[in-house]
Structure formats: C-alpha cells, structure tokens
Amino acid sequence: MDLLNKYKEENMGYIARVTPEEVGVSSESMNRFFHRLRLHKLPMDSILLARHGKLIGEVYYKPYTPKTLHRMYSISKSFTSIGIGLLIEEGRIKLEDPIIRYFPDKLPKDLHPWIAAMTIEDMLKMQTCHLRTTYKEDLSKDWVESFFTTKPDHAPGTIFRYDTSSSHTLSALIERMTEKSMMDYLREKFLDEIGFSKEAYFLKDPFGISMGGSGLVATPMDILRFALIIMNYGKEGNRQLIPAWYIKEAVSHQTDNFVEGAIYEETLGYGYQFWCIRHGGFACYGLGGQLAICLPKQDFICITTGDTTSIKGGNQYIYDSLYEEILPSIQ
C-alpha cells in the first residue's frame, strides 16, 4: 500500500475533537445534562455529543469502551431506509412499486388485495396492512413470507402502525436486488467511506436474511458517523454518497404516527424509517435508549446507548434533559 492510500485509510471517517466552547456550546450545560441523567439513574452505556461535525463530548460507562459493539435495535431501520434510497437512485426500484412485484415466490395462492396493493413507500412510512410484526407469530417460519401470508388488518397507506416485519422485508428486498448482504452493500456504497468500523455487522434471521429492522451491531461512533452524513444530506467532503433528495424526504414528516404507550417524542410524525422530533429535528431510535438525536437547526447531534427498558419514560427524559440543559446554551 502506498503512503497516500495508507493515509486515506487511516483517516477515513476522522472526526475532530474540540472543546464545547470552540463550537459555541457551554461545557457547564453539558455537565448539567450528564448530571440529570445520573440523578434519574438511567442505565446509560455511552453518550456522544457533536456540533458542526466535531466531537465535543464522549462518555463511556464501565464496562463499555469506544470499541464495544452494541446491538442498535431499531436504529437499523434508518440504515435500511438509506439502502432503499440508494436502490431508487440506481433505478432498480421505485417508491410506488408494489412490494409483491419483487417476491413472487413468497406469495400465497389466495393473495389478499390489500397485500397486493402495498407499496414500498407504504412500508417505509409504517403504513402497511398489519397491526403487528408478522414474523413474531411464529419465529420458525419464513420471516419474509409471513409478511405476505399473514391476514391483513386494514388497507395499506391509511394508518401508522409500527411494524418491524416491514423493515425486515425491505432488507430482504435490498439483498435480493443487489445479491449482496445488507452490510456489504452499504459498505460498498458509503459506510466504508465514512469510516464505519470493520467489526460492525447485521444479525440474520433463521433463513439468512439480514435483520434490517433490529439487527445492526455497531459502535456508538459508527452511529455518529452515520448521523453526520445524514445531517450533511449524503455528502462526505465533496462526494455525494447518498442522494440528497432522498434524505430530505426520509427525515421529513411523511405521516402522523401513533404508538400505544409511546413517549411524547414518538408521536410527532414519522418519515421513511426516521422519527420526527421537536426543534425541527429527527431521530433514529432503537429499543432501550439507542438514539441518534439530530437537530439540523443547531447542527447538533446526540448519540446514546443504554438499557432504559425498565424505566418508564426513560427515553423521554434523555430528550427533555438535552433540550432543557444544552440547547439553551448553544450560540
């Protein structure tokens, strides 16, 4: 390897570290934010804070380290969405395509017309025909096939219902169209370019399909790198790695949403596998406090990992603490 390529490989995805004050954020406000989370006894694993593309805060709680791989749960959905956007940009699929077009081998003989009418865009917006994640009814059966064979509850494109089998089927679509694993395809298109860790991977279902709804295993810094390129509308330096038009649509309000028992921040709208949040922001959200909170107006990102499942409203407390402590200090 020549020196130039060696330098590029070693510095790929490099994120500068600066003091908060250098980018207009108060160190004291960050300390108050960390202190509030401790007072609430939230079981956090890591917290990363960044502004203007620079890291200003990085905390890991024992036994976690910067290299510890975490299962990111539903943050995976946002990665799957970007994979779909890349396929659209390549001209392989369209948002309005019926999903059954790509899975003729998975369809029942008595195909329900609501299933037949469901589009890729319906799936991205969580406006499928189902009220629940279909493959959870019998994990021993083909997870993708269950999406087409489970009796639908309503017409597609009408109501929001959180359905991880939708994201899983979109992951299967990516792998079917590219003849590559989800991770290999995303690495080829942009993950390697932004310095995503080589150890990161997707868990697979029992039938070998990458779990694009909940199976990403990566480091917190990987998620920050992903959030940065999304905030920059797909550009890494001078290179447009992800179509800007798609990201703008993906992080915008596409549908009103309702999740039973949801915290307030999960009721403000949904894009294409991204959540709309306060202050004109958007988020990637995974079970238990895996969060990528992105605030474009402030050019600010907060990444968290943890296990808040046992604390009612724990994730909302992360949002509230961020908004009330750090945001007012940003200049």
What structural domains does the chain harbor?
A: 27-34+56-329 (3.40.710.10)
Quick one: CA dihedral 191, 67, 323, 18, positive or negative? negative
Q: What is the mean pLDDT of residues 266-283?
A: 97
Q: How far is CA 298 from CA 1, 45, 100, 168, 252, in A?
A: 40, 25, 41, 33, 17
Burial degree of 109 (CB within 10 A; 0-12, 13-18, 19+): exposed
Average pLDDT of the residues of the chain: 94
| 242 vs 257, residue with greater confidence | 242
Model confidence at 11: pLDDT above 60:
no
Share of the chain above pLDDT 70, in %: 96
pTM exceeds 0.85, yes or no: yes
Nearest to 169 by CA among 267, 83, 264: 83
Q: Is the peptide bond before 63 cis (omega within 30 degrees of 0)?
A: yes
Of the ranges 134-138, 218-222, 275-279, which one carries the lowest mean pLDDT score?
134-138
Angstrom distance (rounded) from CA 47 to CA 306: 9
DSSP string covering 69-116, please? -EE-BTHHHHHHHHHHHHHHHTTS--TTSBGGGG-GGG--TT--HHHH
Model confidence at 7: pLDDT above 70:
no
Other beta carbons less than 10 A from residue 152's beta carbon: 18
Write out the two tokens for 60: 């890991």
Label residue 6 by pLDDT band (50, 70, 90). very low
Angstrom distance (rounded) from CA 76 to CA 286: 8
Q: What is the mean pLDDT of residues 146-174?
A: 96
Angstrom distance (rounded) from CA 48 to CA 303: 5
Angstrom distance (rounded) from CA 228 to CA 221: 10
Per-residue confidence (pLDDT) for residue 1, from 0 to 100: 45
* Cβ-contact 240, 232 below 8 angstroms: no
Could you give the 3-state DSSP secondary structure of residue 17? Answer: strand
Half-sphere exposure in the Cβ direction for 289 (13 Å, CA): 24
Other beta carbons less than 10 A from residue 290's beta carbon: 28
Nearest to 274 by CA among 126, 55, 135, 139: 126
Per-residue confidence (pLDDT) for residue 260, from 0 to 100: 62
- The set of long-range contacts for 230-234, using a CB threshold of 8 Å and a minimum separation of 24, is 230/78, 230/82, 230/294, 231/294, 231/296, 231/299, 231/301, 232/53, 234/190
Residue ranges of E strands in 129-269: 201-202, 216-218, 235-236, 239-240
Number of H helices, E strands in the chain: 11, 11
Label residue 12 by pLDDT band (50, 70, 90). low
* Cβ-contact 83, 181 below 8 angstroms: no
Q: How far is CA 86 from CA 139, 180, 259, in A?
A: 30, 14, 28
Could you give the 3-state DSSP secondary structure of residue 244? Answer: helix
| 260 vs 37, residue with greater confidence | 37
Model confidence at 264: pLDDT above 90:
yes
Of the ranges 23-27, 134-138, 148-152, which one carries the lowest mean pLDDT score?
134-138
